[in-house]
């Protein structure tokens, strides 16, 4: 998990969110001040996917695309995630 993911709260109350951020810039949905919203769990997949892409790009830039294809058989699984560093369809 990316280091900054640990800074996200597990949950946030709607009232607390509105007090801190004022708005969420979405005209379709409303924020219920009395509801508690889960924050960290729903954001872990996009955070881990972003990390996976950055790592893959770093390796591709270091060793080149052809070498990365050879390395694609070596899967590195991120803890507690469906994301893997290498995809077989490179």
The pLDDT value given to residue 14: 95
Contact 32, 12 (CB under 8 A): no
DSSP per-residue string spanning 2-45: -GGGGGS-SEEEHHHHHHHHS--S-SS----TT-EEE-HHHHHH
Predicted pLDDT of residue 48: 79
Sort 83 into a burial class: Cβ within 10 Å, 0-12 / 13-18 / 19+.
Answer: buried
Low-confidence stretches of the chain (pLDDT < 50) are 77-90
pTM exceeds cut of 0.95: no
pLDDT score for 73: 52
């Amino acid at each position: 998990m990316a280091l900054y993911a640990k800074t996200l709260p597990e949950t946030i109350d709607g009232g607390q969110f509105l007090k801190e951020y004022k708005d969420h810039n979405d005209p379709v949905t409303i924020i219920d001040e009395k509801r508690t919203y889960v924050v960290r769990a729903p954001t872990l997949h996009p955070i881990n996917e972003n990390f996976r892409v950055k790592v893959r790009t770093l390796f591709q830039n270091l060793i080149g695309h052809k070498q990365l294809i050879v390395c694609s058989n070596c899967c590195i699984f991120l803890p507690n995630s469906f994301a893997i560093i290498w995809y077989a369809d490179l």
